[in-house]
A and B are shown apart, each in its own frame.
Chain A
Amino acid sequence: DTAVSQTPKYLVTQMGNDKSIKCEQNLGHDTMYWYKQDSKKFLKIMFSYNNKELIINETVPNRFSPKSPDKAHLNLHINSLELGDSAVYFCASSQDPGTPGANVLTFGAGSRLTVL
């Protein structure tokens, strides 16, 4: 059973299109994240949700809109895709702060987005 699963794993699309990446975790975690890894392998936090509520938004363009229908899912929708959006997007989850497992983020396998 995959703990944090993302779909699709690969996504190739044209500039200007709208696309979504889905993420689901079966760990019972309350907090979920989206990270972006650029072409130089640098990982940066984009969003964090706790129990369906947005708690962190790290100056990401409005074209990126996360949606959390329930605490096990955090989807990422991107409007009007640009060349610079090409990257690997990682979903992750962790337990609530103050719990023993809160320190560790469990990552999905990543979704490679290529914008042409």
Chain B
Amino acid sequence: AQKITQTQPGMFVQEKEAVTLDCTYDTSDPSYGLFWYKQPSSGEMIFLIYQGSYDQQNATEGRYSLNFQKARKSANLVISASQLGDSAMYFCAMRGQNSGYSTLTFGKGTMLLVSP
């Protein structure tokens, strides 16, 4: 079974600063994927970034980067140069292997508030 742990219920950051959202995971699968999704107050789930367990380099997507430390089983999201629009709930998720198809196991989320 997969487990995702997000220990920060809420984070505050000032505009233009960088922020790191923590995520640790547990799995017995030799191969897995890690994801971050953003859920603004409007409610939709927006895919941000993906990291494969065998990827050699940390994933980056614009202002988002994933600090993947396999030995520590951590997959922290780093948002550089925070913007007011980054205020949202952020979910770390892991792809499980169930009958060979992808499902996502989610953490409990971290609420990020960006202040001017």
Contact = CB atoms under 8 A, between A and B. Distances in A.
A40 B102 CA distance: 24
A56 B44 CA distance: 23
B106 A56 contact: no
Contacts, number: 65
Contact of A31 (B47, B101, B109): B101
Interface string B84-116: 000001010101001111111110110000000
A14 interface: no
Q: Which residue among A48, A56, A105, A106 has the maximum number of chain B CB atoms within 10 Å of its CB?
A: A105
B47 A88 contact: no
Interface stretch (A63-71, A78-86, A96-104): A96-104
Consensus secondary structure, chain B interface: strand
Interface of A is mostly: strand
Interface in A18-52: 31, 33, 35, 40-45, 48, 50
Contact of B44 (A43, A50, A55, A110): A110
A43 B52 CA distance: 21
A105 B43 contact: no
Interface string B4-40: 0000000000000000000000000000010101010
B68 interface: no
A102 to B, nearest CB: 6
Contacts of A92: 45
Given A43-B91, A104-B50, A33 B103 contact: yes
Interface residues of A, number: 28
B108 A42 contact: yes
Contact of A56 (B35, B42, B103): B103
A116 B5 CA distance: 33
A97 B101 contact: yes
B11 to A, nearest CB: 15
B103 A110 contact: no
4 residue pairs, one from A and one from B, having the closest CB atoms: A107-B45, A43-B106, A109-B44, A45-B103
28 contacts: A31-B102, A40-B108, A41-B39, A45-B104, A48-B98, A55-B98, A55-B99, A88-B43, A90-B45, A92-B45, A97-B100, A97-B101, A97-B102, A102-B102, A103-B33, A103-B35, A103-B50, A103-B102, A104-B50, A105-B47, A105-B102, A106-B47, A107-B37, A107-B44, A107-B47, A109-B43, A109-B44, A110-B43
